[in-house]
Chain A
Amino acid sequence: MSDPTQSGEYSMPVLILFVTGTAPRSQRARDNLTRMLEQIELVDIHPHEVDLLKQPEESIKHSVFATPALMKVSQNGDVAILYGDLSEEGRLQRFLSDLGSE
């Protein structure tokens, strides 16, 4: 119960990656995200990872039912979500673009 409350109280813009264990698409999403963060020089951002196989209740809490999925919580509380294994670099880059400016 401590984890979910923690994940809801980020004061900084934050990324949450929802995965299911070591499923191939989850694995690809981890790799693609790490590579993109390096590419756009946001190495100090450490995405928080939620494994829905271990914490299925997180799925309902965040309304995320497709995996992998990347959730972005802005400082003002806005939430955006990007489904998929993040293999489309252009989309991923656009999704992350506002993080660097802050």
Chain B
Amino acid sequence: MTSRKTQVQKQATGIGGLDRVTGGGLPSGQATLLLGQAAAGKTVLSLQILAKAIERGEGAVFVTFEESPAQVKRDASSFQWAEHLLDSDRWQLIDARPRLDAEVAGEFDVEGLLSVIGASMAQCGATWIVLDGIDQLLQYQPNQRTAIEQVRRINNHCEEKGWTLLLTGKANGNSIAPAHLEGIEFLLSATLILSAQVCNQQLKRSLRIAKFRGSRHVTDEMPMIMGDDGIELPYHEVLPDSDAAASNERISSGVVKLDKLLDGGVYRGSSLLISGRPGTAKSTLAGHFAEAAAQRGERTLYVSFDELSGPYVRNLASVGIDLRSPIESGLVRFKSMSAYTAPVAEHFLTLRRLLDEFEPHCLVIDPISALLKTSDEASMATEHLVDLVRRRGITTILTSLSGLLDPQGEATRGQVSTLADSWIVLDYNVRAGERNRSLSIVKSRGSAHSNQQRELLLSNKGIDLADVYELGTEVLMGTARVALENEEALIQRRQKLERKQRRLDLERRMAQAELERQRLADELRLEEEESSESEALVQVYRTQIRERRDPDRKKPSAHNGGGEGEPS
């Protein structure tokens, strides 16, 4: 008993975001004040909590002091959870509207009300009780202090019985005290303030936990959505358990030369921001990415703000990017959204639901800046989105349109450029009567990336990159680049020819020299032959003379020619 008293027990509301920000639900067996202006969603929130409770097998009683029971049912009927509520016999709806012509003669109390509630609670085994618009009854109380006493009485009664009470109250400006019942906020354990304000022609709903006795809770004003699923807190739903493991895998951007500049591509699970002015080929680059993902067999959720699927796909086809086939095969899901038709929080929720349902490997949002234009909340939405996709390991491309006067404009306004892991800026370079597209990588976390600006060439085969030429402090693109390229090529060709000429020259001279060498060698050989022959003759001659002059010569040899050799 003591441990139960020291720690607040909570009863789940079944609304994921609300249960998360309250750390498990509303104080069990105690009272929560739901405060808000008319149409802020008080009745819907309480009905939704009851519907979820009934779905879980719990019981509930709803006491309406303001709307007719039929109206209360209509309030619920447009939501998907309505059937759990309307068809169930585990709840009772009590019409406690005071009579229109009621008069007052002195103070009254709520014992009768508690009596009838007690009977109904017992009948459906209820633990939840909603008192909707009790100020309508208590305003008849001649003394306001008595009215507050009565809320205290109700609160104590619920605590005794262990009922979890939701009490709605009308907001009184920015005060956390309800109109007609100032002071009850001190009595009750928790206070939720709902608000609905028109901001830039859009209705922005929010929920804030103004008080939660004895429990940690989120204190921010949280954007709230009221859609088919009822009330949701899109930014505060449960996040995937842990951070996705940082991947070292590089995946292609779809442009081979860009992958080289990025040191092999973008990291899987990272986010890439492509910013640039209109017509700088942001969508084309994004399209390349999605096409490449599809070729790897990966799913891509492709979100286009303010552009329809048909024209978008056709435009990409004109630069050789085929999104039609992956869309048809189901690898690319194209979702066209209109930035201004819904509050940012609703767009965020739609994206979140699509991510849940489609489980893509890659996400493209083109352009995220359309969303950022709509309200200040968008940057928070983007932050949550980038966080969400990072946790899920989804590789994301966001494009952002920059203004003409401010090329880095909206990308930085939404803080996207600081959030994204990599940032590519596309731009024009206007020079010598030409407008040429350029690409530069501003940042790329965890990569040795090129710091060079490149010329971006767009053809019917998509994007290609060309090196740019520096001329003094300027970079040359387009015709100027081509001219310079031609000039360089010409010079190179000339140099090559000259070298060839010189080599041929030398070869010819070498050949001539070789011929000369052979001629001289022949001459030498002839000379040597000649000299050896004459040497031999000289030898013969000398021998003859020696023989002829020999005093011991007996007779001239007959074959020596006799008379010829004889001295006269």
Contact = CB atoms under 8 A, between A and B. Distances in A.
A81 to B, nearest CB: 5
A63 interface: yes
B137 A66 contact: yes
A65 B105 contact: no
| Chain A, interface residues (CB within 8 Å), range | 35 or more
A66 to B, nearest CB: 4
B125 interface: no
Given A63-B96, A66-B112, A66-B140, A91 B103 contact: yes
B105 A66 contact: no
Nearest to A64: B112
B64 to A, nearest CB: 11
B106 A59 contact: no
B108 interface: yes
A84 B108 contact: yes
A95 B105 CA distance: 10
Contacts of A60: 94-95, 116
B110 interface: yes
Given A57-B119, A60-B116, A63-B96, A20 B111 contact: yes
B111 A84 contact: no
B107 interface: yes
Nearest to A91: B105
B113 A66 contact: yes
A59 B406 CA distance: 69
Interface string B177-192: 0000000000000000
Interface string B100-132: 011111111111110110110000000000000
B105 A84 contact: yes
Given A60-B95, A81-B101, A81-B102, A65 B107 contact: no
Given A79-B99, A84-B104, A91-B103, A66 B118 contact: no
B96 A65 contact: yes
Interface in A15-69: 18, 20-21, 23, 25-26, 28-29, 32, 52-53, 56-57, 59-60, 63-69
B330 interface: no
B565 interface: no
Given A57-B116, A60-B95, A88 B105 contact: yes
B112 A52 contact: yes
B98, B115, B118 — most chain A CB neighbours (10 Å): B115
Nearest to A93: B105
A14 interface: no
A18 B111 CA distance: 11
A26, A52, A66, A80 — most chain B CB neighbours (10 Å): A66
Interface in B60-115: 94-99, 101-113, 115
A70 B99 CA distance: 12
A84 B107 contact: yes
A63 B116 contact: no
A58 B103 CA distance: 20
A83 B112 contact: no
B154 to A, nearest CB: 12
B297 interface: no
Interface of A: 18, 20-21, 23, 25-26, 28-29, 32, 52-53, 56-57, 59-60, 63-70, 79-88, 91-92, 95
Interface of B: 94-99, 101-113, 115-116, 118-119, 137, 140, 142
Given A56-B115, A59-B112, A63-B98, 20 more contacts: A20-B109, A25-B108, A26-B111, A53-B115, A57-B119, A60-B95, A63-B96, A64-B112, A66-B113, A66-B140, A68-B109, A80-B101, A81-B103, A82-B105, A83-B103, A83-B105, A83-B108, A85-B106, A88-B105, A95-B103
5 contacts: A63-B96, A66-B137, A67-B108, A83-B108, A84-B104
